Amino acid sequence: MTRQELLRIVVLRARVHGFEFRQWFQTSIESEWPGFDQAVATLSSGRRYYALLFSHEFASHFWKKGTQITFLLPSQEYTRLDASGKVVTIKRKSFTRRSSRSTSNTVWQYHLEQMAVWDEPLRYIRRFILTEEELEAAGEQPAAAAVPVEPIESKESHTVPRRAVDWC
């Protein structure tokens, strides 16, 4: 995935959560609006995308309060001592992780701090963008391929009837 493709996906995700990309672009980068694709191309040139990634307005929409974040943890291999004192190599497969829906207003600030520590902030944010291929490789069914569940249109009560219990 190229930088421009990744930035496009990141901006679209933030827009779903209410980020006004056009307004931000006109106030922070250029006053003329060149169109969505050209604006993303402008950001991807050089390191101009840093202005977007570290923007408080963008971060607060990308990591919006109350949204569930899905990301992929890479495979790991490490050694440790077992109970008998032998060195054992532990191999963990990569897996998809879903964070709980945070009710904190400071989630986006935490992620900004973490992104600032990383050598390449775009690599940090890339962890939160999962493609269907990555989900399939991790052994999960992508949302688009999930079997649709039809709602039940029943007027019946869905409670379990009580049964008499002899307590004595």
User: Nearest-CA neighbor of 52 among 115, 128, 103, 99?
Assistant: 115
pLDDT of residue 164: 61
More confident residue, 104 or 8: 8
Using 50, 70 and 90 to split pLDDT, how confident is the model at 113?
confident
- Would residue 145 count as lying in a domain? no
Sign of the CA dihedral running 81, 86, 89, 92: negative
- Please state, in angstroms and rounded to a whole number, the distance separating the CA atoms of residues 91 and 6: 29
Name the domain count of the chain: 1
pLDDT in tens, 41-91: 999 988 889 999 899 998 888 877 655 555 556 677 888 888 898 999 988
Please name which of 65, 153, 59 lies closest in space to residue 104, comparing C-alpha atoms: 65
DSSP characters over 47-73 = TTHHHHHT-HHHHHHHT-TT---EEEE
Query: What confidence tier does 142 reach under pLDDT thresholds 50, 70, 90?
Result: very low
Residue 136 has pLDDT above 50, yes or no: yes
The pTM score is: 0.57
Determine the number of helices (DSSP H) and then strands (DSSP E) in the chain: 8, 4
- Cα 114 from Cα 121, distance rounded (Å): 9
Which candidate, 76, 123, 71, places its Cα nearest to that of 98?
71
Q: Is the pLDDT of residue 96 over 60?
A: no
Structural domain of 21: 3-140
Q: What average pLDDT does the structure give for the chain?
A: 74
160 within domain boundaries: no
Is the residue at 158 inside a domain?
no
- Cα gap 20→14, rounded to integer Å: 8
Taking the CA atoms of 36, 13, 30 and 23 in sequence, report the sign of the dihedral they define: positive
**Better-scored residue on pLDDT, 129 or 130:** 129
